[in-house]
Every structure is written in C-alpha cells, then in structure tokens.
Structure 1
C-alpha cells in the first residue's frame, strides 16, 4: 500500500474511533457536557486566588492558605446537602440554584475587601460551586445507558480538564489586566451554564410509582451510611484523592524547597493536562468494558508509586516523567470510579450517594494540604512520597477486597426514560 493509502487508512481509523467514542449518547448528555465545559472554561478564580490575595491585596501566604481551606470546607459542608436536594427537589433545580449562587458569590468575592468578608464569601463560593457536582453526576447516570456510562463520565472528565487547561492559560492574561475582570468573567460563564440548564435540560429524576414506593423504602442519609460496601468505596476514594491532591499541594512545595522555580513546577504539571486531553478518550475506549476491580487496583498502585517516584526526581524532566505516570492512573481511575459509584447507588437515591462520594474528594482537598505540610516540615518530602506509595497500596488492597462480591450486590438498574421522552433524533448519529 502506498504512503497516501496508509495515511487515508489511518485517518479513517481515527474518524471511526471518534465516532464510536461519541455516538449513541442522548442529546441531553451533550447539553450537560457543554455546560460542564463552559463552566470550566471560566474557572479563573481557583487559578489565581493565591496570587490575588498575596500580590494584589497584600495579605500573607498564611491568610491565602486559610482562604483556600475555607473554599474546601465549603465544599465539604455542601456535598451532603446538595445530594439530598438532588433527590428531593430534582437534578435541574439543584443545578440552577448551585450555578446561580456560584455566579453571585464569585462576583461578590471580587468586590469585598475586608479579610473577614473575603474569608466568609470564599466559604460560600466553596459551598455553591461544589453543590452542582452530585446533581451533574446523578443526571448523567439518569440519562445515559449503563453500558455507556464509563464512556460518558470519561467524556465529561475530558471536558473538565480541557476547560481548565484553557482557563489556566488565560487566567494569567486576565490577571495582568484586572483581577476583578477574572471574577466577573467566571461569574458570567457560570451564569451561562445556568441558562443552558434552564433552557435545554429537562428534569431527569426518576418518578416512583406507588408499587415502587411500597416495595422499596425511601433512601435517606442513614441508608447511605449503613451501606457498608458503598461506604468502603467512599473511604477508598478518599485515599486515592489524597494521593492525587499532592500534585497541587505537595509537589509545588517540594520542588520549591529543592530549588526549582514556579515556572519549573508549571512546566512539570502541564504534562498532566496535556496527557488527559490527548489520552482520556482513546484510553477509555480500551478500558470501558474491562473488569473495574482490576482497573481500580491497578490505578491505585500506579498513582501511589507514581508519586513515590518523585522522591528520586532531580530535574524538571524527571519530575515531568513522574507526572506522566500518575496521570495515566488518573485517566483510568476517574471514569471507572464514578461509574462504580453509580452502579452501587439505588436509582432513587443517586443524589445522596453522589453527595457522599463528592464528600470524599472535598474532604481530601481540605486535608491534603495539612497532611503534606506536616509531612514535609516534620520529616521531609521523601517521606511524603513514600507515604503516597503506602496509601496507594492500601487503596489497591481495599478495592480488591471490597469488590469481590457477586454482581447481585450492585443496585444499578437501566437508565430510566426522561420526561419528556427523547425522540430518535436525540441520539448522535453513528
């Protein structure tokens, strides 16, 4: 075959792979996906908040750390409440309240000046911005068929990282012009997301029949806490999240102490976003029908030992290589873990279950900075990286044990039909 023929064959395979990656998903999913992308494209505040407080406002690094912790604490507080709202009020109302509140509080954060006011509004921003996560994940589980969920969650995760990569690149330019412009831009983008939800997304919460109410008791928070297998998965998710959080909290501190510049850290971490954008979809095609237990065990080990390898890094190139290792674990873990949570959740309790799962990541975001700071100050960075390897091993063993049960333990049911029912045109053509 000629080179031109080989090139056409390769292009044909790529087009076919892309079609297979996006085909068969309902139109409502793509509006939800677009809402996620727009939201992350406007995520300026998380990128430049520390610089805004220290350089523009003149506050100390300790105060900036306190504000970051309050943002995380707000997410912890709202996780459970948002899950309950998702089940009681519905996915759509919860999204509208969360995104509208986020737009208002982010805009307000750009105007307040007193340190107590900044801290208080930052806490509200953390609450509002995190409240949409259980609703998004529950709605996605409602409208996507079980066999397509790993692919759908992977595409959503890809949108999150693509949007964040673009917003992170643009945040520096926005900050040079005006920090206030960054706050207002994020508020505007979040408001656009709320409008998309209001105009394009019908409610997807399954409606319970009288027979279902009689046969299946209501799912409360107590039901979630008594679900031993699910709570074990939440605990393991917390351990894995602790590891991945070190890319944002432990790694920059360790590199700084080793004499590397912020630019060096930025170059090393940029590999994470580039690999996720480039590999998330093709890797998902490879893993979506494979044993989730093996995937979660493997990704936990690779994440833990990927960060463990950081102890041997002595150059920016080697740091970037370790980022490559744990990024591959992240690509596999994120959609697999989210799909597992859905499969373990009863249909009429998805909001509460997703809220508890979101809590594991919010708690990790709150605790990881404290843990990394303590470990580095008291014992040195090498002990932090060794600890990551140990935590990854513990998580891997935990997944292997927890997921040994029979398939009958899984509570998932086929995705219900939304109201109004979708038409054949609601599917993306293959």
Structure 2
C-alpha cells in the first residue's frame, strides 16, 4: 500500500524546475486570494449594494473581462509571455493594494474591477507559459501539479479570508496583493521556457511546434476542426460546472433554510479535500487514457452527479453528489487542460486560450441565467434534469470528436495505430 502511494507521488519527479516553481507560485497566490471569493459579501455587506445592483456589477465586470482576454491572448502571442505576466501582475497588484487605503464604496469597486481586468489580460500568457515550460509528453503531470497547487493554496486562503473579512478587510487586500507579487518574483527568477532545440527528436510534437505567424487563429481552428468543436464543448461544460456554486447553494438554502449556507460551506471544503487527495491518484491511474477519453469520463461524472440530489435528498447525499462531481472535475481537468496545448502551435497559444476563457465565461453566465429561469418557472428537479441532459449530449459530441481528433492528429495516437 505504501509503495503504491509512493509511486503515485513519484510521478511528479523529473519534471522541469519551472513546473515546480509554478506549483509553489500557485500555492502562494491562492493562499492570499481572498478578494474574489468574498466579492459578493464585500459588495453587499461592506458597500451596501442591493442584490440586483450586485448582479449588474458582476455581469458588467465579466463583460469587461471578455476584451481583456482577447487583448491578453494577442499580446501573449506577440510578445514575451514571461515579461507580460510580470508587467500585468504588477499593475493588478497595485490596484488591489490601493483598495486597502480607500473606504468601501464605488471607488473600491472600480479599483478591484481594474485589478481583475489586468489579471485577465495576463491570464492567457500564464496558461500558455505552463505549456512553454513543459515537454509535450509530461503535460498532464505539469497541469495536474499546477491544479494541485491552486487548490492547496485556495483551501488555506478561504479560511484566512473568512477570518479577515469582518474586521481586517484592508489587510486582506494587502495580503492578496503581496502574495501575488511574491509568486511573480518566483516566476521572474526561476521560470525558464524550454527551447524546441533542447527537446529530443522523439519527444517533439509537430502539431505545437510548427509556426506560421501569417496564419490567423481562426484559420488554424478551421484546419483543426476537432479543436474548434472542443472549444464549443468547453462552453457547455462551463454551464454545467457553474451550477455547483450557483444552483446547489440556492437549493440547499431552500431545503435546509438558515443552515443551508453552513452546510454548503462544509461540502465546499469537502470539494477541496477530494481535489487534493484524488488529483495525484487520478493522474496516476488514468495516465494511459487520451485527453478526450478523460474529458468524456469527467463530464459524465459531474453532469450526472446532479441526479443524486434531484429529489430533495437528505443532507449526507450532498457529500455523495460532491464526491462524484469533484472526481469528474479532476478527471476533466486532466484531459481538457493539456488538450489545447498539444494541438495548437506555440505561436497561437495565447489567442486560443483567450477564446477558451471567453467561452467559459459565456457558459457560466448563460448557465446562471437559464438555471435561474428554470428554477423559478419550474423546479430544481427540472433544472437538474436539464443539466444532466446537457451533459449527456456533450458526452455524445465528444465521443464523435474523439474519432475526428484521431484523424486530424494521428501522431498523437501513434501507439493506437501501431
């Protein structure tokens, strides 16, 4: 048993030094990521906005993030990604820390919205950098390690943020900024991109190494149709995923009244615990599967998990649902994260990643609107059934796309063809 556990964690040995730096940077950043998880509470309890006003502000900020992602994607493909991360992180940190020195109000809202915009401009460069610092065949492990770092930090950060919220909000803004700055310094000093020339011939992947600066990202997507289909799938996957933080807490408040918020907090912590335990395990167990096979399993699990809580279940069943949901979340990440990096030229990674981020935003916001209408017009049972049906349709589409992907990228399935 001990040997199996040792093997599970030894899979992360031998990665590039930069991969470990990004892992630690993710932990540090998310340990101090207090503001965005607390945003709704800050807007309501500290500033005093109404629920309707908060919804308008949330949508407005989200809409501003769309052009920020597009700009970030174009910049990431045109300029040095590491330098972009440094520049926009510093600007974002400046706005965050500035919030500590103003009273809660409209100016504070504008300042942390500006911080979020610059963080989103930096986003595509950071996502592309993870691919830049790793070899094609180790991509799942690198993304797995980065995801693990994100959740380790977030678990600690969420607890600290809740403590600071009531009486030390200014300190929360400062710590948030400083932790981001610390992780940026780690990236400046230690992260090194891998040169294609330094990769052995048998380790290269021609689909991400061929570069044609004159081609537009849309031309590439037209040539690589399976990638375009998958970007559309990501929209509906985000629609489903969003429901655990939107529909589920509302449902729990309906079922358990004043205990609903506390109960949701418990299953949220359980979500983080399952991620931390099962990310290394699933990475190890599913290493022989291709990316889209993992995406099929992941989306199946987290879309069908909503049927477990469909008919007003007892509270313990929410933990069963959350276990299935989180397992699906982990497995989907292991397939979806490296999928694009292996099929898009390095010269276009930033732009394609920005499209994925925009699609995720559209799916998440659209999911809130549609589910809100279904819940009000019909019931939670109907709403959760719709979520599962959407998941079933997506699984069928991905199964078709898997066959198409094998035809377009045969070298990535070389072992299957031999």
The alignment's TM-score, normalised by the length of structure 2, stands at 0.88
Tell me if structure 2 keeps the 8 A contact 1:43–1:164: yes
**Once the two structures are superposed, what CA deviation does each residue of 1:333-386 show, in whole Å capped at 9, x if it has no partner?**
012101111122123211212221222223333333323322222222222211
Tell me if structure 1 keeps the 8 A contact 2:131–2:341: yes
Q: Relative to structure 1, is the Cα distance of residues 101 and 180 closer, same or farther in structure 2, using a 3 angstrom cutoff?
A: same
Q: Is structure 2 residue 218 aligned with structure 1 residue 222?
A: yes
Q: Say how many residue pairs are matched.
A: 399
Q: Give the secondary-structure state (helix, strand or coil) at the position aligned to 2:404.
A: coil
Q: Relative to structure 1, is the Cα distance of residues 64 and 204 closer, same or farther in structure 2, using a 3 angstrom cutoff?
A: farther
> Could you tell me how far 1:123 is from its partner in structure 2?
3.3
The residue aligned with 1:47 is 37
> How far, CA to CA, are the matches of 2:380 and 2:195 in structure 1?
47
**Once the two structures are superposed, what CA deviation does each residue of 1:194-229 show, in whole Å capped at 9, x if it has no partner?**
22222222455879xxxx999845343433553532
Q: Relative to structure 1, is the Cα distance of residues 151 and 202 closer, same or farther in structure 2, using a 3 angstrom cutoff?
A: closer
> How far, CA to CA, are the matches of 2:7 and 2:162 in structure 1?
37
The residue aligned with 1:185 is 175
Tell me if structure 2 keeps the 8 A contact 1:80–1:355: yes
Tell me if structure 2 keeps the 8 A contact 1:343–1:410: no
Q: Give the secondary-structure state (helix, strand or coil) at the position aligned to 1:280.
A: helix
> How far, CA to CA, are the matches of 1:309 and 1:204 in structure 2?
45
> How far, CA to CA, are the matches of 1:205 and 1:86 in structure 2?
17
> How far, CA to CA, are the matches of 1:412 and 1:355 in structure 2?
26
Q: Give the secondary-structure state (helix, strand or coil) at the position aligned to 2:36.
A: helix
> Could you tell me how far 1:91 is from its partner in structure 2?
1.4
> How far, CA to CA, are the matches of 1:30 and 1:214 in structure 2?
27
Per mean C-alpha deviation after superposition, the further-off stretch among 63-72 and 50-59 is: 63-72
Q: Relative to structure 1, is the Cα distance of residues 324 and 114 closer, same or farther in structure 2, using a 3 angstrom cutoff?
A: closer
Q: Relative to structure 1, is the Cα distance of residues 214 and 285 closer, same or farther in structure 2, using a 3 angstrom cutoff?
A: closer
Give runs of aligned pairs for residues 215-364 of structure 1, distance below 5 A.
Answer: 216-224=212-220, 226=222, 227-258=224-255, 259=257, 260-364=259-363
The residue aligned with 2:6 is 15
Tell me if structure 2 keeps the 8 A contact 1:295–1:332: yes
The residue aligned with 1:34 is 24
Q: Relative to structure 1, is the Cα distance of residues 57 and 300 closer, same or farther in structure 2, using a 3 angstrom cutoff?
A: same
The alignment's TM-score, normalised by the length of structure 1, stands at 0.85
The residue aligned with 2:110 is 120
The residue aligned with 1:428 is none
**Once the two structures are superposed, what CA deviation does each residue of 1:86-112 show, in whole Å capped at 9, x if it has no partner?**
111121022112311221222234445
> How far, CA to CA, are the matches of 1:273 and 1:67 in structure 2?
28
RMSD (Å) for aligned C-alpha atoms: 2.6
Q: Relative to structure 1, is the Cα distance of residues 125 and 309 closer, same or farther in structure 2, using a 3 angstrom cutoff?
A: farther
2:136 to 125, 136, 146: 146
Q: Relative to structure 1, is the Cα distance of residues 250 and 164 closer, same or farther in structure 2, using a 3 angstrom cutoff?
A: same
> Could you tell me how far 1:146 is from its partner in structure 2?
1.5
Give runs of aligned pairs for residues 349-388 of structure 1, distance below 5 A.
Answer: 349-388=348-387
Per mean C-alpha deviation after superposition, the further-off stretch among 302-311 and 162-171 is: 302-311
The residue aligned with 1:391 is 390
Q: Relative to structure 1, is the Cα distance of residues 106 and 376 closer, same or farther in structure 2, using a 3 angstrom cutoff?
A: farther
The residue aligned with 2:202 is none
> How far, CA to CA, are the matches of 2:322 and 2:48 in structure 1?
32
Unaligned runs of 5+ in 2: 198-207, 413-418
Q: Is structure 2 residue 157 aligned with structure 1 residue 167?
A: yes
Tell me if structure 1 keeps the 8 A contact 2:231–2:356: yes
